[in-house]
Amino acid sequence: MTAGLLEGKTAIITGAGSGMGKAAAKVFAAQGAKVVLADLNRDAANLTAEEIGQAGEVLVVQTDVGDDESVQYLIKEAVDKYKNLDVLLNCAGVPQFFTPIEEMSISEWDKIMNVNAKSIFLTTRHLVPHMKKMRKGSIINIASIAGIRARPGLNAYCASKGAAIMLTKALALELAPYKIRVNAINPGPAETPMLGKFLPGDEEKVEEDKKKIFLDSVPLGTLIQPEDIAEAALYLASDLAKAVTGEIMNVDGGRGI
Ligand SMILES: NC(=O)c1ccc[n+]([C@@H]2O[C@H](COP(=O)([O-])OP(=O)(O)OC[C@H]3O[C@@H](n4cnc5c(N)ncnc54)[C@H](O)[C@@H]3O)[C@@H](O)[C@H]2O)c1
């Protein structure tokens, strides 16, 4: 891979304490970016920072991406420290157990919509004024293949990711005059701590179900790795993608076909 693709750039990554966000933080730092690590779980984000160590410059900000005040604080801290912010990677997300719609509680529905969809509105609304002044920026939203290809029982999750995808397209058009690019990535079933949380049951059954439900649905025959998503995000964050906006990129081993 070409080194230094993000040299001189600053990136905010939400969900940077685990899975894809953590992988992206490492890849972005290795490519020269200064990285703001935002996660609800401060210890997890601190661990990501430790793992990056001397290999990059990072700032950890504990953030609840579903809460407007918390997001406002994140952007203020990031702007105070780095002034210019080039990249926003919205990666934080929550899963949903397979739940029949009539058993879905309103509080669980609201939580999933808040963290997976409203968070994109909140982070964007606070960061865009800064990007508009710079007349450049790259916003990348981690949606899901579940946003275009449904699974039974994942009603709120699919709806939240569908919202993330359409919001990406709406913002891409709205922000294009300011040279702010907005794209999304649809990961397929990925080997992160989240995957097992879609499935109820004991651990043995979870492993069996992961294979039956998720692995067997991927034509390429392997689960997606967090690094696969990090590298797709790297492309979209970098100037290599300067002509790309409004794109919804499936990184899914063919699951979406
Ligand atoms: N794992 C998969 O199979 C899969 C597939 C498609 C899409 N996705 C999406 O990819 C993204 C990353 O998922 P992952 O698999 O790396 O999950 P993960 O569970 O490994 O990491 C998610 C991170 O988000 C953080 N988070 C949760 N709620 C938050 C909040 N309110 N504020 C701030 N941070 C919060 C968690 O603390 C965690 O560090 C999510 O948006 C997820 O929906 C995952």
Distance from residue 21's CA to the centre of ligand 1 (Å): 8
d(CA 197, CA 133): 41
Confidence of residue 55 (pLDDT cuts 50, 70, 90): confident
Q: Are 33 and 56 in contact (CB under 8 A)?
A: yes
Q: What is the mean pLDDT of residues 212-235?
A: 95
Q: Which two tokens stand for residue 17?
A: 């304490």
Q: What DSSP string runs through the chain? A: --S-TTTT-EEEEETTTSHHHHHHHHHHHHTT-EEEEEES-HHHHHHHHHHHGGGS-EEEEE--TT-HHHHHHHHHHHHHHHS---EEEE----------GGG--HHHHHHHHIIIIIHHHHHHHHHHHHHHHHT-EEEEEE--GGGTS--TT-HHHHHHHHHHHHHHHHHHHHHGGGTEEEEEEEE-SBSSTTGGGGS-S-HHHHHHHIIIIIGGG-TTSSPBPHHHHHHHHHHHHSGGGTT--S-EEEESTTTT-
Q: Are 174 and 121 in contact (CB under 8 A)?
A: no
- Give the closest residue (by CA) to ligand 1 atom 14: 19
Q: Which atom of ligand 1 is nearest to the CA of 41?
A: 37
Q: What is the mean pLDDT of residues 177-185?
A: 98
**Fold entry, domain 10-197+226-240:** Rossmann fold (3.40.50)
Percent of the chain with pLDDT over 70: 98
Q: Which two tokens stand for residue 158?
A: 């699919």
19 lines ligand 1 (CB under 6 A): yes
What's the pLDDT score for residue 211? 80
What's the pLDDT score for residue 56? 87
**Is pLDDT at 241 greater than 60 in this prediction?**
yes
What's the pLDDT score for residue 208? 81
d(CA 65, CA 62): 10
What value does the mean pLDDT of the chain take? Answer: 95
Which is catalytic among the residues 73, 82, 157, 235?
Answer: 157
What's the pLDDT score for residue 116? 98
**Is pLDDT at 75 greater than 90 in this prediction?**
yes
Confidence of residue 1 (pLDDT cuts 50, 70, 90): low
Distance from residue 47's CA to the centre of ligand 1 (Å): 16
Residue-wise pLDDT for 151-174, tens only, equals 999 999 999 999 999 999 999 999
What's the pLDDT score for residue 199? 82
What's the pLDDT score for residue 201? 66
Active site residue 73: no
Q: Which of 192, 206, 210, 218 to mutate to test the pocket of ligand 1 (most atoms within 8 A of CB)?
A: 192
Distance from residue 254's CA to the centre of ligand 1 (Å): 21
Q: 43-52, 204-213, 242-251: lowest mean pLDDT where?
A: 204-213
Of the candidates 236, 234, 253, 212, the residue with the CA atom closest to the CA atom of residue 3:
234
In the chain, domain spans: 10-197+226-240
Residue-wise pLDDT for 8-39, tens only, equals 999 999 999 999 999 999 999 999 999 999 99
Q: Residue 197's CB: how many other CB atoms inside 10 A? A: 13
147 lines ligand 1 (CB under 6 A): no
Percent of the chain with pLDDT over 90: 89
Confidence of residue 86 (pLDDT cuts 50, 70, 90): very high
Cα pseudo-dihedral 66, 92, 239, 86, rounded to 10: 40
